[in-house]
Amino acid sequence: MARFCCLDTYSYALFFISSLVLAFHFHASEAQAHPQVVKGLSFSFFSKTCPNLETVVRDHLSKVLKKDNGQAPGLLRIFFHDCFVTGCDGSILLDAKGGKDEKGEIKNVGIRKEALRTIDDIRSIVHNKCGRIVSCADITVLAAREAVFQSGGPLIKVPLGRRDSLTFNTKATSKIPSPFKKTNETIKTFAEQNFDVTDVVALSGAHTFGRAHCSTFSKRLSSKDPTMEKSLAKSLKTRCPNASSDNTANLDLRTPTFFDNKYYLELMNSRGLFTSDQDLFNDKRTKGLVTSFANNQKLFFEKFSVAITKMSQLSVLTGNQGEIRAKCNVVNTK
C-alpha cells in the first residue's frame, strides 16, 4: 500500500491555509446544511398511514445484506441512476415491453438484478402491511439510505411522498455522469441538476464501496495513465487484460465493503479507478475537498448526507401525479 510522503514546511503552510479557507467555506454554508423539502414531500408523510415503514425496510435489508453485501452499493447506484435521469420517480425499475428500457442503456451496464428484486420484495412486504400507499420511488430511496447506513455510513434523513412515473426515458440516461470524464465536465454535469462542487466531491464518495467493470477504467491501463499508481496499474492489467473482460475490480481497495472515507485516501495515493474519481485530486477546485474528507470522516458524512437529501428530491412526482405501482417493474393496468 502506498504511503503518504512527509510535507515540507512550505507545503504544510499551504495545507494549513487551504484548511482554514475550507473551514470558513463549510461554516458559511452551514445555513444550507439541511436542504429545503420540496412541496408534496414530508419527513412524516407515512407517520399515521404506515408508521413502521422505515423499520420494515431496515429489517428486510438487514437479512439481505447479511447474505449478499454487494447489494448495498447496487441499491445506492439504482437510486442515483434513477434520480439523475427524469427525477426520483422509479423509472429505472420499469421493464420495456419491446426494445430497451433505462436499465439496458450503456450508462446502466452492471445494474444488479438482485438489487432490483430486493426493491420489489420490499414493496411487496410494505404493501401487505400498509396497503398500496408507498411508491416504488420512495422504497428505492429508503433502500439506498439503508444500504449506506448498514454498511457503516450515516443515517440520512430523507423526506417521503414520491409517486411513480408512468413511463421511462432511455435518452435521458445520457445525463448520468461518466467515469471517463475529467472534473471540469463532471462539475458541469452535476451543475445541471443544481449541485455545487462540494456536492460533486461528496457524492463521488459513493465509490467508497462496490465494484467496477474493466471497461470503465481499462483505457487508463492501455494508455499507461501517469496519474495511476504503478503497482495498482500492474495489478489491474492482470485482472483486466482488455476492455471486453467480464472481470470487475473494487472501487476502494482499502475497505471495499464498508462505507467510509477511505476512498479519498486512495485518491491522494493515486489509486482511484475512474478518471472522474482520480481527477478530483488533480483539479485545484476539488483537491482541497478531497483532502478534507480524507482527514475528517464526520465532515464527509455530513456533506454526503446533505447531497443525498438534495438528490432524493430531484423532479419528484407528488400529489395526483404519476401513480403508486402495484409492481415496481410495470405500470398499473387501468
Query: Residues with catalytic annotation?
Result: 81
Enter the DSSP assignment of 29: G
Instruction: Report yes or no: 1 and 228 within 8 Å, Cβ to Cβ.
Output: no
Task: Tell me the C-alpha distance between 66 and 137, whole Å.
Answer: 24
Does the annotation list 260 as a binding residue?
Answer: yes
Does the annotation list 91 as a binding residue?
Answer: yes
Does the annotation list 208 as a binding residue?
Answer: yes
The torsion angle over the Cα atoms of residues 39, 44, 47 and 51, rounded to 10 degrees, is 110
The letter for the amino acid at 55 is T
Enter the DSSP assignment of 168: -
Does the annotation list 89 as a binding residue?
Answer: yes
Does the annotation list 86 as a binding residue?
Answer: no
The letter for the amino acid at 205 is G
Q: How far apart are the first and last CA of the chain?
A: 59
Distances (CA, A) of 275 to 211, 222, 251, 252: 15, 13, 12, 14
Task: Tell me the C-alpha distance between 262 and 250, whole Å.
Answer: 12
Cell numbers placing 100 = 430497451
Q: Which of 154, 4, 126 is nearest to 59 (CA)?
A: 126
Does the annotation list 255 as a binding residue?
Answer: yes
Enter the DSSP assignment of 8: -
With H, G, I as helix, E, B as strand and everything else as coil, classify residue 218.
helix
Residue 160: CB atoms within 10 Å: 23
Tell me which residue has cell 420511488.
137
Does the annotation list 85 as a binding residue?
Answer: yes
Instruction: Report yes or no: 60 and 142 within 8 Å, Cβ to Cβ.
Output: no
Instruction: Report yes or no: 320 and 170 within 8 Å, Cβ to Cβ.
Output: no
Does the annotation list 286 as a binding residue?
Answer: no
Residue 51: CB atoms within 10 Å: 11
**Total residues found in the chain within this entry:** 334
Residues belonging to the binding site are: 82, 85, 87, 89, 91, 102, 177, 207-208, 252, 255, 260
Residues belonging to the binding site for substrate are: 177
Residues belonging to the binding site for Ca(2+) are: 82, 85, 87, 89, 91, 102, 208, 252, 255, 260
Residues belonging to the binding site for heme b are: 207
